[in-house]
Structure 1
Amino acid sequence: MRTPARMEDLRHVDTGLSPAERDDARREGLRQKSIAALGDRWLLDQKHAPQRGTYDKHGVRVA
């Protein structure tokens, strides 16, 4: 792999990755970008996690 020249179109630089790996990297980048855009509105954000403690069989927090 070589370092691309300044102002070179990066879509045409040989990275040594297979097409499947390039697609996976692109998809992961889009995923991270989406999560960053959503912020704390993202479903799996830490603020949506249940509180620590003891719960009864109905899922109601006891302590």
Structure 2
Amino acid sequence: CLGCCWMLMLLLFVGGVMSLVWIAGLALWVLVEKLAPAGHWLGRLLGGVLVAWGGMALWAALT
């Protein structure tokens, strides 16, 4: 699991090892991404949102 899903495991660790809300949210997102006809685009969309969110957090921390 660590080899193929390291990013998901990292998100679960950062979000809280025992946080059911984070685990349920990620599980729901993966389910929607796998079952939706355009699921690969949803993954790219979420990736872009997370990169933008991280950039804004970094910008806020530096100013």
Same fold (TM over 0.5): no
Bigger helix fraction: 2
TM-score by length of 2: 0.43
Which one has a bigger Cα radius of gyration?
1
TM-score by length of 1: 0.43
